Structure 1
Amino acid sequence: MGRVIKHEGVAAMQMQSGAVRRLKAFARGESTWAEVEGMTFEEAKAIAQVGCDLAAAGRLEEARILFEGLVEGNPKDSAARAALGTVYQKLGRLEEALAEYSAALAREPSNPVALANRGELYLRRGERQGFTDLANAVEADPHGETAAGRRARALVKAIALVAVEKLKEDAQP
């Protein structure tokens, strides 16, 4: 049985044409699904806060689902990508975490969360890029306003102290 399309008048046609325009813009890659759905910044922020609360409570799978939904709805949201990377990192999904941090940084090169967390993962792998990311995280958050910025500062300081000690050891006959 076919679907019946009813004519609801001018207002319905205008609403439908607005929806059609949003869908066409999405299909052309000019807008996100969140924009098609009409999600506001405040709504996305509220969902992200719930995701952060879930992650803080150790409910990582539920947090993952929320952040994956936010990223799917708006892949341009660097904060949601960094948060998803953090959840992936806590779940031990390190390659996916790196991919999300890198995607966040492609959009927002000074995102302190993505820089600090990616830097830490790179350091664990023995990659020098880790120190660069940590230094950039400190630069992005010079006053330590975020936990990531404070952690990056502490790691940079610890690395510098170890390097100074190593130089001292190497200089001794």
Structure 2
Amino acid sequence: MGRVIKHEGAVAMRVEQGEVQRLRAFARGEATWAEVEGMTFEEAKAIAQVGCDLAAAGRLEEARILFEGLVAGNPRDAGARAALGTVYQKLGRLEEAIAEYSAALARDPVHPVALANRGELYLRKGERQGFTDLANAVEVDPHGETAAGRRAKALVRAITLVAVEKLKEGAQP
């Protein structure tokens, strides 16, 4: 049986017992807003695909809005966080991108997109963690099945070639 919520000057609203329980679970941090709303994995995936399509079409602000909404609804979704990080990176919001990639990796330590992209950003900042992230991205996608895995492999190869050349230069009399 539902509960009726009334307040002055407003229409009565019925809240079902299941909703009350989901809201309480959300308040305790045991459920995401997406779970309260009843969003399915398939629905979230469809929204994420639209976000990816928008980003691919260069409509980054619209993609950002979708991915920020997905992350707000389910902050535990590593894929949405990595996608939001990618959009932030393309928008030049690099610190926010790193934060989203790090949040994605906290949930999924072997997420190839988060590893490759965060690794690239850390390298740009001159941080050694960048090479570690790229090496881990290659390790989780050794055959380059994802674009992120292929890019990580190419970057590791380029870094290695530069290092070998520097060693050769240092060894010459």
The aligned counterpart of 1:166 is 166
Gaps of 5+ in 2: 1-7
Deviation (angstroms), 1:3: 4.0
What is the distance in 2 between the residues matched to 1:61 and 1:100? 16
The aligned counterpart of 1:64 is 64
The aligned counterpart of 1:94 is 94
* Pairing 1:110–2:110 present: yes
| Secondary structure of 2:88 counterpart | helix
Deviation (angstroms), 1:143: 1.5
What is the distance in 1 between the residues matched to 2:12 and 2:159? 67
User: 1:22-41 residue pairs with structure 2 within 5 A?
Assistant: 22-41=22-41
What is the distance in 1 between the residues matched to 2:163 and 2:112? 24
What is the distance in 2 between the residues matched to 1:37 and 1:31? 10
| Secondary structure of 1:126 counterpart | coil
Letter in 2 for 1:50: V
The aligned counterpart of 1:131 is 131
| Secondary structure of 1:24 counterpart | helix
* Identical columns (%): 84
Deviation (angstroms), 1:142: 1.4
What is the distance in 1 between the residues matched to 2:75 and 2:126? 29
Backbone CA RMSD of aligned residues: 1.3
Gaps of 5+ in 1: 7-11
Deviation (angstroms), 1:135: 0.2
| Count of residues paired in the alignment | 166
What is the distance in 1 between the residues matched to 2:86 and 2:158? 22
Deviations 1:35-59 (A, max 9, x none): 0000000100000000000000000
The aligned counterpart of 1:78 is 78
Deviation (angstroms), 1:140: 1.1
Higher helix share: 1
What is the distance in 1 between the residues matched to 2:129 and 2:65? 30
What is the distance in 2 between the residues matched to 1:5 and 1:130? 55
